[in-house]
Amino acid sequence: MDDALIDCINCTCDRPLCSFSAELAISTDAALEVVQADRSLSQVQMADLLVTKQWLQVKIWQASVMHMTIDQSSLFPQLRLEYPLSKLVNVINIIDGIPFSALLGNGQGMVSLLLPMTSDLY
């Protein structure tokens, strides 16, 4: 990810001059979608990778909302209002599929990903 996109995700970009676009949101989300957990990773690393991926996808969606690129009629789910709900379902499936100790192994970092994601969707 480039610095400009990170600024958008952190809500620190200069919106009138910002280059964020629906195309950037779609392409970045698609690049994240192909990231898969490698079997050589520990369960703690796998939990971190998979949850962080979902968190980043939600953050990109939030940037799309802030930049008004959300379009309910879009063919791309990344640009629709319900998209973060699918990411939350993915997180629930990830959590159901790994030992609780793998989540605990990530400590506060995991909480810092899960809490904002769930509260933002609430």
Q: How many CA atoms, within 13 angstroms, populate the side-chain half-sphere of residue 89? A: 5
Q: What is the 3-state secondary structure (H, E, C) of 69-115?
A: CCCCCCCCHHHCCCHHHHHHHHHHHHHHHCCHHHHHCCHHHHHHHHH
Residue 121 has pLDDT above 70, yes or no: no
pLDDT, residue 3, reads 83
Q: What is the mean pLDDT of the chain?
A: 88
- DSSP tag of 15: G
pLDDT, residue 30, reads 94
pLDDT category at 122 given cuts 50, 70, 90 is low
pLDDT, residue 5, reads 87
pLDDT, residue 45, reads 92
Report the domain count for the chain: 1
pTM of this structure: 0.87
CA dist 79 to 57, 60, 63, 100, Å?
11, 10, 10, 32
Furthest-apart CA atoms within the chain: distance in Å: 45
Residue 26 has pLDDT above 90, yes or no: yes
pLDDT category at 16 given cuts 50, 70, 90 is confident
Residues 50 and 42 sit within 8 Å (Cβ to Cβ): no
pLDDT category at 18 given cuts 50, 70, 90 is confident
Average pLDDT of span 85-99 = 91
- DSSP tag of 16: G
Look at residues 60, 72, 73, 66 and name the one whose alpha carbon lies nearest to residue 23. 60
Average pLDDT of span 56-77 = 93
Higher per-residue confidence, 39 vs 79: 79
The parent domain of residue 16 ranges over 3-121
